[in-house]
Amino acid sequence: MDAERLYRKQVNAWCLYDWANSAFATTIMAAVLPIFYATVAASGLDKTTATAYWGYTTAIALAVAAILSPLIGAAADALGARKKFLIGSALFGAAVTGLLVTVGEGQWLRASIIFGFAQLGFVISFVCYDSLLSFVARPGELDRVSTRGYALGYLGGGILLTINMVMILFPSLLGIPSAAIGVRLSFVSVTIWWALFTFPLARRVAEPPPAGTRTVADAGELVRRTFGDLKATFREIRRHKEAFRFLLAFWIYNDGIGTIIKMATIYGTEIGIGRDALIGALLVVQFVGFPFSLIFGKIAGRIGARPAILFGLAVYSGIAVFGFFLSEAWHFWVLAVVVGMVQGGTQALSRSLFASLTPRDRSAQWFGFYSVSHRFAGIAGPLLFALIAQLAGSSRYAIVSLVVFFVVGAWMLTRVDLEKGEGALIS
């Protein structure tokens, strides 16, 4: 088999993990679980309190993941085990997700704990997955490969969400006794889908070598080396001022993106939009996101990744403002289409832009810090959303407050000198 064919197979296998984990992102994080949480797990609570509890759940789970991400990234680099850590955390997350079938009415705390552990597996797997990008893709193809992964994620997530919608909305067609059972079976489907489509990466993507040439003798040495490498990497990132500036900008603007992803469905539930319309609109996001992620990759090839990201952030500002006035189901559908147009491309190009500023031999450590930015961004937004919702008695003011994240993050992104940042890796 020639080298070009091997390269394509490895790229396809890497991209397919986006297809695999999108099951958790769509069914669990965005579509089915938030509604299940609000109407079943948090039954007995008023709607605004249920929304706030979901926000707190998301924030706490992401905080734990953010703290662990750079540690695990440093350990993965030290051991040369990026792929192994990815597979282990993915299978852990998939298995824990299946436990959601045991959540009953009023058991919001149980649902929160299960979701928190499942999301931990999801986040840690992404640290190692993202860190493999610079090993899998050729330097000139980072944007294209990253956006392709996101595109496959949207398609895979859309396909499984379609299946789950049939299970929930038309259970008798599949011999399922009720919609309630269909919801619980959708949690099991995520477990199967996530685990099954992780295996192509396990089979075809090579494990990159460990950082440096030192060996790790025992667990104590691993811990000492991990913390030592982590401290050294943090100092190094701070010396790479442009990469550090990008992380700060990403931290801020991705906060807004992540909050919209996590809070949109439960926000729609609070203002009275029906379950079927909410899930249908989120399905639209998936299938719109598939082609537009690829389009963003082509646009980045013409004008650069940063201008494409800035365009996406301008659109997100408009989404947050329009969300304040949202009242009808068709409003939610319109927003779903617009979100689908910019969501995947903006995040995929952020990933590839950071990869271009990252030393390959320490990519997992650097992406550990990228994940910290990514996940802490996911803490502040939902936390602010929850606090404003409780204080104002409505989530409308919470949704419009997200504009500040997009505006400030975009301004900070314009301050990053990309040429200087890429040059620092060569010097």
CATH number for 399: 1.20.1250.20
Q: In angstroms, how far is CA 222 from the centroid of its own chain?
A: 28
212 assigned to some structural domain:
no
Cα dihedral sign, 341-343-346-347 = negative
Question: Helix 82-97 to helix 179-196 angle, to the nearest 10 degrees?
Answer: 170
- What gap in Å lies between CA 195 and CA 44, rounded to an integer? 34
How many residues in the chain?
427
149 assigned to some structural domain:
yes
211, containing H or E segment = none
Q: State the CB neighbour count (10 A cutoff) for residue 318.
A: 14
69 assigned to some structural domain:
yes
Which of 35-49, 302-316, 409-423 has the largest mean confidence?
Answer: 302-316
What the block records as the tokens of 215 is 């060996």
Mean pLDDT across 158-162: 91
For the stretch 31-52, what's the b/e string if a residue is b when 16 or more beta carbons lie within 10 angstroms of its beta carbon?
bbbbbbbbebbbeeeebbbbbb
Mean pLDDT across 339-358: 84
Q: What would the pLDDT profile of 360-389 be if each residue is shown by its tens digit? A: 666 666 776 666 655 555 567 777 777 887
Q: What would the pLDDT profile of 317-328 be if each residue is shown by its tens digit? A: 998 888 888 778
417: left (phi over 0), alpha (psi -120 to 50) or beta: beta
Q: State the CB neighbour count (10 A cutoff) for residue 260.
A: 24
Q: What is the mean pLDDT of the chain?
A: 82
Q: Which residue has the higher pLDDT, 59 or 374?
A: 59
- What gap in Å lies between CA 363 and CA 129, rounded to an integer? 10
Structural domain of residue 149, as residue ranges? 3-207+219-426
Nearby residues of 231 by Cβ (< 8 Å), 6 or more positions away: none
- What gap in Å lies between CA 16 and CA 21, rounded to an integer? 9
180 assigned to some structural domain:
yes
pTM for the complete prediction?
0.74
DSSP structural state of residue 206: P
The CA dihedral of 145, 146, 150, 151, to the nearest 10 degrees, is -30
Mean pLDDT across 101-122: 93
Query: In this model, does residue 410 exceed pLDDT 90?
Result: yes
Q: State the CB neighbour count (10 A cutoff) for residue 298.
A: 14
213 assigned to some structural domain:
no
Which of 61-70, 226-235, 342-351 has the largest mean confidence?
Answer: 342-351
Cα dihedral sign, 262-398-408-346 = positive
Cα–Cα distances (Å) from 45 to 34, 41, 390, 393, in that order, read: 14, 9, 13, 14
Q: Which residue has the tokens 């050294």?
A: 232
Query: In this model, does residue 65 exceed pLDDT 90?
Result: no
- What gap in Å lies between CA 4 and CA 281, rounded to an integer? 40
Q: What would the pLDDT profile of 29-58 be if each residue is shown by its tens digit? A: 877 898 899 889 998 888 778 878 887 887
Residue 102 binned pLDDT confidence (cut-offs 50, 70, 90): very high
245 assigned to some structural domain:
yes
Q: Which residue has the tokens 């394509």?
A: 8
Q: How many domains does the chain have?
A: 1
- What gap in Å lies between CA 415 and CA 426, rounded to an integer? 21
Q: Which residue has the tokens 């993965």?
A: 76
- What gap in Å lies between CA 418 and CA 420, rounded to an integer? 5
214 assigned to some structural domain:
no
Query: In this model, does residue 224 exceed pLDDT 80?
Result: no
pLDDT for 197 equals 96
Residue 105 binned pLDDT confidence (cut-offs 50, 70, 90): very high
Which DSSP string corresponds to 169-193? HSGGGGT-S-HHHHHHHHHHHHHHH
pLDDT for 143 equals 84
- What gap in Å lies between CA 389 and CA 395, rounded to an integer? 4
Residue 419: exposed, middle, or buried by beta-carbon count in 10 A (0-12, 13-18, 19+)? exposed
Nearby residues of 188 by Cβ (< 8 Å), 6 or more positions away: 98, 101
pLDDT for 217 equals 44
226 assigned to some structural domain:
yes
Residue 269 binned pLDDT confidence (cut-offs 50, 70, 90): confident
Mean pLDDT across 390-412: 83
Nearby residues of 127 by Cβ (< 8 Å), 6 or more positions away: 69, 72, 73, 76, 85, 364, 367, 368, 370, 371
Residue type, 336: A
Closest CA to 313 of 396, 408, 383: 408
Q: What would the pLDDT profile of 168-200 be if each residue is shown by its tens digit? A: 989 999 999 999 999 999 999 999 999 999 999
